[in-house]
Structure 1
Amino acid sequence: MARLLIDGDDLVVRPSWWEKLATGHGEIRVPLSAVSRVGEATAWWRPLRGTPKRTSYLPGLSHLGVWQHGDGQDFVAVHPWKPVVVVETRGQTPFARIALSVPDAHAAAGLVPAGDSRRPWGDTPVRAD
């Protein structure tokens, strides 16, 4: 699963090696000032919107990649029946929304962009700064 953490003034998404391979994307950085909301999805499939642009889809296992829609594009690394955190952005960012399956979506959803939280979410509980 991807890791979501804060590194300085950036929110960082670090996909696992196989998610990098499936999506064609490595680390994604978004300035905290461009994060408008972080929340937990009520169902794993709800963040999926638009049409797949570059994706890998394995029924029952994963939805990975970039989805195109009227407001831009979203980065998705969602695994069915796993907790999903959704990061919505504003301004000049590569993705309007980032949706990730994480081990603890409730903790990730508690991230306040303007706050002082430095707790990572994902497989390895290590501070980035």
Structure 2
Amino acid sequence: MAELSITDDRVTVTLTWWEKLASGRSHFALPLRTITAVEPVDSVVAAVAYERTKGRRVQATRIPGMTTTGVYAHDAEQTTTFLVCHREGPGIILDLMGATVDRIIVSTPKAQTYARALRKRLM
């Protein structure tokens, strides 16, 4: 499962080897200044459902009931979302500006902890 590493000036989303394979990407290292909003969610599946119904897969792997990992694009909104979501459970949504994607959604049982740490640094 993807992990977030948070420092005073950046957040890094570290992917497992199979998440890298499924998404066609490596890790994300983002300056904190690119984060415009942080939202922990109880159901990452609900967040992903919106991305799947409104967007199109650019480079992503979806195995129903198991994972949605990769990039989805919303042509009408002209935005892209990077997803690393596995099954039902909590997750975190990062809205971004000036990064390679506009949003990142990650499954993690540590969503509340990550959100607190990020909000503290963004204040």
TM-score range, shorter chain: 0.7 to 0.9
Aligned length: 114
Q: Mark the runs of 5 or more structure 1 residues left unpaired by the alignment.
A: 116-129
In the other structure, the counterpart of 2:86 is 79
User: Hey, what does 1:25 align to over in structure 2?
Assistant: 25
Which runs of 5 or more structure 2 residues have no equivalent in the other structure? none
Structure with greater contact order relative to length (CA < 8 Å, sep ≥ 6): 1
CA RMSD of aligned residues (A): 1.5
Q: How far apart, in 2, do the equivalents of 1:89 and 1:44 lie? A: 18
SS across alignment from 1:47: helix
Residues 4, 12 of structure 1: 8 Å contact kept: yes
| Residue correspondence of structure 1 range 1-129 to structure 2 within 5 A | 1-48=1-48, 49=51, 50-69=55-74, 70-90=77-97, 92-110=98-116, 111-112=118-119, 113-114=121-122
Q: Within 2, Cα distance between the matches of 1:66 and 1:56?
A: 9
Q: CA deviation at 1:8?
A: 4.7
More helix by share: 2
Find runs of 4+ consecutive structure 1 residues off by over 2 angstroms: 45-48
Q: Within 1, Cα distance between the matches of 2:7 and 2:25?
A: 18
Aligned letter for 1:98?
Answer: I
| TM-score, reference length from structure 2 | 0.84
Q: Deviations over 1:101-127 (max 9, x none)?
A: 112111112121425xxxxxxxxxxxx
